[in-house]
Amino acid sequence: MDYLHEDQYEVVVENVKKSYDGKKLALDGISFHIKKGEIYGLLGKNGAGKSTTIKILTTLINFDSGNCNIAGYDLRKDSSKIRKIIGVVQQEESFDFTTVEKNFKLTGMLWEVPKNIREERMEKLIDLFGLQEIRKKRMYDLSGGQKKRVQVAREFMHEMKVLFLDEPTVGLDPIMRRKILQYIREQAKNGLTILFTTQNLEEADMICDRIGIIDGGKIVEEGTSEELKFKFGTLRTVKITTQTNVEKYINDIKEKIKTVNYEDISFDENKILILGKNVDRRVGDVLGSLYEMGIEVENVSIENPTLDDVFMRVVER
């Protein structure tokens, strides 16, 4: 019954609980589903349970109760089959104590990638992840960000159905971060299903199809980034600049736009500031009213909420 939508979902997590010490729950009944080709972002503060979730789904640690299914395989029964179809970039650094190139080659060999494909893929990834200059260097001579790049790139040496990325962009410069996210996006377009954890909200906003906010070991909010912003949007400000001084129309304007449900309005010569929840979606009404009163509008701007606002509100309430 749990897997009613078995073919629709590539990753099914249902009511999973996990305690490391038998007392405190690291995961407290977490549930979420990921469709094939979807990028699902797990967003949460330190200790929320992101890595624990990934370690469980990648068969590294056991869980106490609940159900998990990956690409049709039950996590409890078919863990070795699951390991053959997933890719994992763990949060902690991980590399073979040798050169960058050998790290790629060894990954290809361990995954039985045919030799010619191995070489070709390695060249492509080295180019794409900007590793050309350091390809002959030993891993321990690299900077933190360079190591991370190798760690992420290396995982694309082999085929997989589901990819788990635990904070893969920590320590990367903005250009590289963007490049890598773009590459990940492309892979999802080709059908790869991705679970992505991050604390960087901007990043989640950029590449995730859906986001689950995890707190205290369970999903407390879920939706597309737009949905979340809409639901938890903070007060927004609409700023209107007019050609004429509006101070003498104050009472008329207030009366006319009563229905907008603003929380505060202020006037300053030829500027009107309207503050309220979702007031941005009523801009049309406001402009219509001003037009009726013969007030010419020069400029309108809206301050949008960010995913940060959503995150702060959700995890701090």
Partner 1 sequence: MRMPAFVRLTVRNIVVNIDPGTLIFMLGLPTLYLFVMGFMFQGINPNGGLVVQYHGIAIKYTTFLAPGIIALQAFTAGNIGGSMLWSDRRWGMFEQIMVGPFRRSEYLLGIIFVSIIFALVGSAIMIGFAFTIPVRFNITLAGIGLFILTMVVGTMLFSSIFLIISGIAKSMQAYNTITILLFFLLDFASTAFYPITNSTPGWLHVIAGGNPLSFISDILRESFISGVDYNSLYYSGILFVAMLIFFVLSLRVYKNIRSGI
Instruction: Pick the binder of partner 1 from 4, 46, 97, 136 (CB under 8 A).
Output: 97
| 90 binding Mg ion? (CB under 5 A) | no
- 237 counts as binding partner 1 under rule CB under 8 A: no
Within 194-253, which residues bind ligand ATP (CB under 6 A)?
199
Give the interface size with ligand ATP as a residue count (CB under 6 A). 13
> Does the protein bind Mg ion through residue 200 (CB under 5 A)?
no
Q: Judged by CB under 6 A, does residue 126 bind ligand ATP?
A: no
Q: What are φ and ψ of residue 83, in 5° steps? A: -60, -20
259 interacts with ligand ATP by CB under 6 A? no
Joined tokens for residue 149: 């790049």
User: Candidates 58-66, 222-230, 231-239, 289-297 — which segment interacts with partner 1 by CB under 8 A?
Assistant: 58-66
Q: Is 51 in the site for Mg ion (CB under 5 A)?
A: yes
CB of 219 to ligand ATP, least distance (A): 12
Pairwise CA distance, residues 214 & 197, whole Å: 10
- Under the binding rule (CB under 8 A), the answer on residue 61 touching partner 1 is yes
Residue number, 55 or 149, with CB nearest to partner 1: 55
77 binds, among partner 1, ligand ATP, Mg ion, none (CB under 5 to 8 A by kind): none
Of these, 29, 60, 137, 267, which contacts partner 1 (CB under 8 A)? 60
Q: List interacting residues with Mg ion (CB under 5 A).
A: 50-51, 91
